[in-house]
Structure formats: C-alpha cells, structure tokens
C-alpha cells in the first residue's frame, strides 16, 4: 500500500460511537444464532460419546436404537471419507473416533430422530464395547519414559531423537549466548510454573442445521468463526466437492477462538446424507466442555538474569504444552511471545507439543501467549522485588521499540509498548494507596495479530446507499466498525450502509475471524473496496462532464471536478450518480480481495489490585486497569469492550477456571456450576485506556485488539496476589485451596 493512501487524522466518522447495526435484533431476541433455525421435515441429532479416557472400540451395535420408533439413521466412522491425511485426518479422527476413543467425551456414533427426546433415548440404546487402555492427562507425565503411548508415529521431523512418542512437535528459537548473559547478571532467578487448561466458555453451545443430498449438494447453517473453513473441512470429511456445500454463518454467541474449529458439522451432514432430511445438531453444555477445544495446559521453566539497575542480561524459557490427543498445542506461540516485550541481547526459548488423553485443544484468544506472560512476568516481578526496582520503570528500561530485534526473530516496526507503560505509570491507579491485605501487580503482554485471506464486496444501491458484504463473522460488534470505515471513505452517513456477513456462495474465501484480524483485514478490505467504488463513481461523473477521470475527486459524498476543471461543474452527489448507473455502464460495485500482511503487533500493560483472604484463600480483584495500543480505535466503545472482556477472561483463568481430571482420566467439572467463569459479583469495573500508535500496515493505522487483552491478566493478577499474600504463586488457577496451601508452606518454612 502506498503511504500516501494512509489517513491518520481528519476523520469524520471513524472514532465515533454509533449504535451497532445489529443492536435491535440482539436486544429483542430476534437475532438468529446457531440453534435458532428450523427446516421443514427436520430431524434432531445426538452424539454418543466415549465415557473412557482411552479405549479401543471393539464393537458398535446400533440395532436397538434403529428399532426405536422415530429413529431415522445412525452414523459411525464408516460414514465419512477414507484416505484422509494430515490435519484433515486429525480433524476427522477427533470429530468421530476410528478404532480408538482418545479422551472422555470423544464421539463414537450419532443418531438422528424425529424429536430431540427420541434422539436422546436412542443414543442410550447404542451399545459400544470398549477395551480400556492406559491413559495419561498431564503434560509432564505424558513426557515421562513410562507414559502410555497415545499414538505411535504422531511426531513430526522437528522432534529430536530420544524423546517420548507423545512429544509430537518441537520448537527452538532465540539469539545471542544466554550463558554469557547470565554471567553478566547481578541476580538470576529460575522458576517452574504451571497453568491448567481453560475453556473459551462461550455461552452459545455449538449448533448447526445441515442438509446434504445424494447428489453431493448441501447447505449448512452453523455458528462459527469462519464458514469458508467449515466448508473446506466438511467437504473433505464427507468426500464432496467444496463448492457444492454452501455454508452460512449464523449470529455467533461467542467464540474466542473455540469456534475456529469444526466439531459437529460433519456429523450433522453425514446424518443428513444418510436420512435425506435436514438435521439439527446442538451440543449439550457438558459435551462442549468435554469435546470442544479448551486451551492447552502448560509446564514451564523460566530463567532470567538482571543487573542491579534493572537491565535484563539474558532470558530463557522451556514451554511444555499438552493440547489433547492431537498435535497442535500452540507451544511455538508461547515460546515466541514469552520475551517479546523486551529488547534482549541473549534469549533462548524451547517448546514441546505433547499429546495426552484430553480433547483436541482449540485456539483461545492469543493462543499460547497468556501462559508465557504469566511465567515470564512473574519472574520479572520477583527480580524487581528482590532488587527493589519499580516494575514499570524496569519494564521501560528493557522495552522493545521500533528497530528492536524481537525475541522471535524479526525487527519490530512502529510499536506501542513504551506508550502503554508510560500511560500506565501516569494513570492514577498506579499511584493510588493500597489497603492492608491488598497487593498490586502489573504485567505486559504481547500478541502478533494477523491478516489472512480476505474478500469484501461493496455494492451501491440506486438511492446512494451501500450494501457491504464481508466474510468474517461478527464476534463482537465488527459490523459497526466496517460500516464506519465504509462511511468514512464514501462520505455518506453510517446508517446508509448495511453490513452483511455473506455466505460462502457469494464471496471469495475469507479466513476465519481469528488472530484479531477482522477490524484490521476486513477493515482494510472494506476501505479498499470503497475506494474501488469511489473510483467508479468518479469515472461516471467524469463521463457525464466530459472531462478525464483523473480530473475528478471524491469529497463529502460527491464527485467534484478538480485540477484545471475545478469549479466548472457543481459537485455531483452519490445518489445522483447511482440513480442513473443502469444507463451509464451498469451496477457500481467495489471489490477487494487480498491477503494483507501488515497486521501490526500489539502490546498492553495491565494494573491490578487484589485482596487475599488468609482464612479462606479467596481472592478479590478490587481494581483493574487495562492500557493497550489499538493503533487506531475505529469504534472506541467496542475497543473498550474487547479490553474489558479479555481482562475478565484472564481473571477467570488466573483465579478459578481449570479442567479437573480424576485418576480415571475423566473430566470432573463439565458444567458451568463446577467450571466457574467470572460472574458479575466477582468483578470490579474494568477501567480502560486506549493508546493509539498507528500501525503502518493499515490505511487508518488499525491494530487488532481482541487478543492482546488476555495476555497480561494472568501475570498481573499473580503478581498482585503474590504481593498481597506475601508468597509467590506459581501455579494457575490461584484457587482458594492453592492459596491456602501456599500460605501453609510458607508458615512451615
């Protein structure tokens, strides 16, 4: 993109806070989510799941189920494509077990019937004979010599020889000589940290409605973060052509990365094909916990050296992540994000991707980064405490900035870490007095952000309004941001733009809504599509006036003659051009299709005050401030919402949320009562500061904001709790029993 196309000031619409276009539907119950649609003759489906952590499937007998009145069909692995390889095989194996159930909740069969109750009854009649195998659910245990092997041959070439077969991928990166760096330090701290798996916890369970005929043509309605991805994967798993499956994304009731993956859609399609009827499949909540992606759990070793003046001399980290029974735990992101906030001469990081008998992990908001920040920022906090240094000044002293060689390799361009630290230092929260029993923690956090394949169409209507079709599901108000950017370019009111999430049949491929990419990439594509339309509008005006196209410019929603022709004709408003477009060359549509690669990285600094009750071990978060670089906030209210939401999820991860497995390898807390996400009475108001250091890779300077907000909270809260409790907490979640145990250990010396 040419730099002169960039606009960083003089906005008329961007930066305002209009009501979101889908607001009315969402407050009246009219919005249609995954489970809210029906089709004539529709069947209801239920999935049968393994009650064992690891078991060979010896026999599946569905005869009793099929004999039940109202049952129309049963599917097993035999009803899916064969011969798949690579990630498609992994996904199919996860969607429907082959020979072996690999975790508690792994799908083994599914049934469709004329009512949900009959389908549920029928599922209980499907008899599965298992041979129970030894299991392992803990990452360190899975790497040990005597650990049961989940699957031979799952490791790729990156894994060094001699490792346990459960280690399936290996990562190593860094620069300099860490041993030399540690030798320069006045203080070196080395510690071990652990975090448990947490679930994205979206309130809407996965749901879909599928049809698929014997002609291989199908329709799928589902809640997903990316329907082109669903289309591609489902077509492969069903053995049909991609273009013959049209996928429409419903309104989505939360995703946070967990709905970037495919779980139930291929099953509904297989049942639809088998019964020749539409099939609706909605996951019960326990299935969501047991069989959709939680994040990885971790075991980490961090070593950092510091001089008395706060200079970090060297840093190294070992990050072991288990991501369930399949490769994919985001250990390279954990490793690469760990030390990204700091300009380091000597840094080294190692990552292990380990398989266990747990569900296949899925992305969760900045996948891998929050755990790394927890470990690294805890050690930095401890170094500051022991060397009696201010935690913000110390971070400023070491902060990455433009031109710093990042810990993960490349050179940083314009970034805003220093600005977030300065804003945090200046915030009244940082200097506010603490009450007895309270502690304050701060942490920085980093996320890469992402661009990805993107296609957008902007079609003008005869009255000068615009229909904008984007392909990225709106998971947090992005339609408002898209409309603002289109309105800014076209010079027409925000209300005159209707934004639709197009289905797979009407736009080119759009990568899933992940990587904080939507406002960046679909936003960039919206701006470019609008500029394309503006070019065509100017051409029509030029033809009417009989002057060259490049002698017309676009201002305030009108074509205006410029250069030597300036003032020769009255400005021609958009509606005057569009009402005649049929007679002047046909419909006017702007397009943009590309894979934008300038997603600017993003940093945040969080400040937390926590209070720990030494009697019960309960932690209360009493004050919370998020400071984050947004590049340019298109709709500041929704940027604040992302900051607050990330902080709240981080609070849950830090204090309460965890997957608890019994010795039998079964998940013990697969309901919201036992898997406790933060409720309104758990949280304070969450203050936000939007820092704007423009991203050079976006026409308005936008950086993605969705994910970075969950990177600092785990560490910031751990630092606050450790200060309040007077003992360092190195394991998440810092639930009351863990805090009480830590206090007891300290008392016992």
Partner 1 sequence: MSKIHVTTTINGDEVEYLCDPRETMLDVLRDRLGLTGAKEGCGTGDCGACSVTLDGRLVCSCLMLGAEADGHEITTIEGMATGEELHPLQQKFIEYAALQCGICTPGILVATKALLEKNPDPTETEVRYWLAGNLCRCTGYDKIIRAVMDTAADMREAS
Where on the chain is the footprint of partner 1 (CB under 8 A)? 17, 19-20, 22-33, 35-36, 38, 115-117, 200-205, 251-256, 282, 284-285, 475-477, 637-638, 640-641, 644-645, 647-649, 671-673, 677-683, 685-686
Q: Which residue's CB is nearer to partner 1, number 304 or number 512? A: 512
- How do strand 167-175 and strand 347-354 relate by DSSP bridges? antiparallel
Give the CA-trace dihedral at 22, 25, 26, 27, to 10 degrees: 120
Question: Tokens for 591?
Answer: 């397009």
Q: Which residue's CB is nearer to partner 1, number 454 or number 709? A: 709
Q: CA angle at residue 173 from 168 to 176, to 5 degrees? A: 155
Shortest Cβ distance from residue 349 to partner 1 (Å)?
31
Please tell me the distance from the alpha carbon of residue 668 to that of residue 104, in angstroms, as a whole number.
Answer: 10
Shortest Cβ distance from residue 624 to partner 1 (Å)?
9
Shortest Cβ distance from residue 608 to partner 1 (Å)?
13
Please tell me the distance from the alpha carbon of residue 287 to that of residue 293, in angstroms, as a whole number.
Answer: 11
Shortest Cβ distance from residue 61 to partner 1 (Å)?
25
Shortest Cβ distance from residue 198 to partner 1 (Å)?
12
Q: Which residue's CB is nearer to partner 1, number 277 or number 730? A: 277
Q: How many Å is the maximal CA-CA distance in the chain?
A: 90
Q: CA angle at residue 575 from 572 to 579, to 5 degrees? A: 110
Shortest Cβ distance from residue 202 to partner 1 (Å)?
6
Q: Which residue's CB is nearer to partner 1, number 232 or number 676? A: 676
Shortest Cβ distance from residue 256 to partner 1 (Å)?
7
Shortest Cβ distance from residue 27 to partner 1 (Å)?
4
Q: Which residues of 275-289 are buried (b: 16+ CB within 10 A; e: fewer)?
A: bebbbbbbbeebbbb
3-state secondary structure of 114: coil
Q: Which residue's CB is nearer to partner 1, number 660 or number 671? A: 671
Q: Which residue's CB is nearer to partner 1, number 394 or number 605? A: 605
Phi/psi at 179 (5° precision): -65, -45
Q: Which residue's CB is nearer to partner 1, number 250 or number 496? A: 250
Q: Which residue's CB is nearer to partner 1, number 198 or number 231? A: 198
Q: Which residue's CB is nearer to partner 1, number 284 or number 437? A: 284
**Contact call for residues 58 and 129 (beta carbons, < 8 A):** yes
Please tell me the distance from the alpha carbon of residue 713 to that of residue 635, in angstroms, as a whole number.
Answer: 23
Nearest to 654 by CA among 628, 627, 623, 619: 619
Shortest Cβ distance from residue 259 to partner 1 (Å)?
10
Shortest Cβ distance from residue 338 to partner 1 (Å)?
26
Q: Which residue's CB is nearer to partner 1, number 257 or number 310? A: 257
Listed as own residue / partner, the contacts of 89-92 with beta carbons closer than 8 Å and 24 or more positions apart are 90/326, 90/327, 90/328, 90/360, 91/233, 91/237, 91/261, 91/262, 92/237, 92/266
Q: Which residue's CB is nearer to partner 1, number 368 or number 641? A: 641
Sheet holding 187-195: strands in order across? Answer: 167-175, 347-354, 312-322, 297-306, 187-195, 731-732
How many other β-carbons are positioned within 10 Å of the β-carbon of residue 726?
A: 12
**Contact call for residues 468 and 533 (beta carbons, < 8 A):** no
**Contact call for residues 257 and 55 (beta carbons, < 8 A):** no
Shortest Cβ distance from residue 339 to partner 1 (Å)?
28
Phi/psi at 58 (5° precision): -85, -35
Residue-wise DSSP of 643-671: HHHHHHHHHHHHHT----B-TTS-BS--S
Shortest Cβ distance from residue 670 to partner 1 (Å)?
10
Q: Which residue's CB is nearer to partner 1, number 259 or number 397? A: 259
Shortest Cβ distance from residue 673 to partner 1 (Å)?
5
Shortest Cβ distance from residue 348 to partner 1 (Å)?
36
Q: Which residue's CB is nearer to partner 1, number 149 or number 683? A: 683
Please tell me the distance from the alpha carbon of residue 13 to that of residue 483, in angstroms, as a whole number.
Answer: 9
Listed as own residue / partner, the contacts of 147-156 with beta carbons closer than 8 Å and 24 or more positions apart are 148/54, 150/54, 150/102, 150/325, 150/355, 150/356, 150/357, 151/102, 151/325, 151/355, 154/326, 154/327, 154/355, 156/327
> Which helix (H) or strand (E) covers residue 554, if one does?
strand 552-555
Q: Which residue's CB is nearer to partner 1, number 205 or number 557? A: 205
Q: Partners of 619 in the beta sheet? A: 612
C-alpha 644, offset from chain centre = 15
């Amino acid at each position: 993109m040419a730099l002169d196309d960039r606009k960083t000031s003089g906005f008329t619409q961007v930066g305002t806070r209009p009501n979101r276009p889908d607001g009315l539907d969402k407050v009246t119950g009219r919005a249609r989510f995954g489970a809210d649609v029906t089709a004539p003759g529709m069947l209801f489906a239920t999935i049968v799941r393994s009650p064992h952590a690891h078991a060979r499937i010896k026999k599946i007998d569905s005869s009793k189920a099929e004999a039940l009145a109202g049952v129309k069909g049963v599917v097993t692995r035999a009803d899916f494509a064969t011969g798949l390889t690579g990630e498609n095989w992994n996904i199919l194996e996860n969607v429907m077990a082959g020979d072996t159930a690999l975790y508690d909740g792994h799908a083994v069969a599914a049934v469709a019937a004329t009512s949900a109750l009959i389908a549920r009854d029928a599922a209980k009649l499907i008899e599965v004979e298992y041979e129970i195998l030894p299991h392992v659910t803990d990452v360190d245990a899975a790497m040990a010599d005597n650990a049961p092997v989940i699957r031979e041959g799952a490791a790729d070439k990156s894994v060094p020889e001699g490792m346990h077969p459960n280690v399936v991928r290996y990562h190593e990166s860094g620069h300099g000589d860490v041993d030399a760096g540690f030798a320069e330090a006045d203080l070196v701290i080395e510690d071990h940290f652990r975090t448990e798996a947490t679930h994205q916890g979206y309130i809407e369970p996965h749901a879909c409605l599928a049809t698929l005929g014997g002609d291989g043509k199908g329709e799928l309605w589902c809640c997903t973060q990316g329907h082109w991805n669903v289309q591609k994967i489902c077509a492969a798993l069903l053995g049909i052509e991609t273009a013959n499956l049209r996928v429409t994304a419903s309104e989505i009731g939360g995703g946070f990365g967990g709905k970037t993956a495919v779980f139930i859609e291929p099953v509904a399609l297989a049942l639809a094909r088998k019964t020749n009827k539409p099939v609706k499949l909605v996951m019960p909540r326990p299935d969501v916990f047991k069989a959709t992606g939680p994040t990885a759990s971790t075991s980490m070793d961090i070593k950092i050296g510091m001089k008395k003046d706060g200079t970090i001399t060297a840093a190294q980290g070992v990050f072991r992540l288990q991501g369930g029974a399949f490769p994919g735990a985001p250990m390279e992101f954990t490793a690469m994000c760990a030390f990204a906030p700091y300009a380091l001469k000597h840094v080294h990081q190692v990552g292990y991707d380990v398989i266990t008998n747990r569900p296949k992990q899925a992305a969760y908001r900045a996948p891998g980064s929050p755990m790394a920040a927890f470990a690294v920022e805890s050690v930095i906090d401890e170094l500051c405490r022991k060397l009696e240094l201010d935690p913000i000044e110390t971070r400023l002293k070491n902060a990455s900035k433009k031109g710093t060689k990042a810990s993960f390799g490349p050179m940083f361009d314009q970034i805003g870490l220093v600005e977030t630290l300065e804003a945090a230092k200046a915030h009244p929260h940082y200097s506010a007095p603490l009450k007895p029993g309270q502690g304050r923690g701060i942490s920085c956090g980093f996320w890469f952000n992402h661009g990805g394949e993107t296609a957008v169409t902007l079609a003008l209507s005869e009255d000068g309004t615009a229909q904008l079709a984007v392909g990225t599901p709106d998971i947090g108000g992005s339609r408002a941001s898209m409309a603002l950017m289109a309105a800014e370019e076209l010079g027409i009111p925000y209300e005159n733009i209707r934004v639709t999430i197009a289905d797979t049949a009407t736009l080119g491929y759009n990568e899933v809504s992940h990587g904080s990419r939507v406002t960046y990439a679909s936003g960039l594509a919206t701006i470019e599509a609008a500029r394309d339309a503006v070019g065509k509008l100017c051409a029509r005006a030029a033809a009417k006036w009989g002057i060259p196209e490049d002698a017309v410019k676009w201002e305030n929603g009108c074509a205006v003659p410029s250069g030597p022709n300036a003032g020769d004709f009255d400005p021609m408003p958009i509606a005057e051009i569009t009402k005649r477009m049929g007679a002047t060359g046909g419909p006017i549509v702007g397009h943009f299709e590309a894979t934008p690669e300038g997603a600017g990285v993003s940093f945040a600094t969080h400040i937390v005050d926590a209070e720990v009750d030494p009697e019960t071990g309960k932690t209360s978060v009493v004050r919370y401030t998020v400071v984050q670089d947004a590049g340019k906030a298109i709709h500041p209210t929704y940027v604040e919402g992302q900051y607050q939401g990330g902080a709240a999820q981080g609070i849950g991860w830090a204090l309460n949320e965890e997957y608890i497995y019994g010795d039998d390898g079964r998940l013990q807390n697969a309901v919201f009562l036992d898997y406790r996400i933060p409720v309104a009475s758990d949280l304070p108001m969450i203050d936000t500061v939007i820092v704007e250091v423009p991203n050079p890779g976006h026409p308005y300077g936008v950086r993605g904001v969705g994910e970075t907000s969950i990177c600092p909270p785990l560490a910031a809260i751990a630092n606050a709790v450790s200060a309040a409790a007077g003992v360092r907490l190195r394991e998440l979640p810092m639930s009351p029993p863990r805090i009480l145990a830590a206090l007891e250990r300290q008392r016992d010396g």
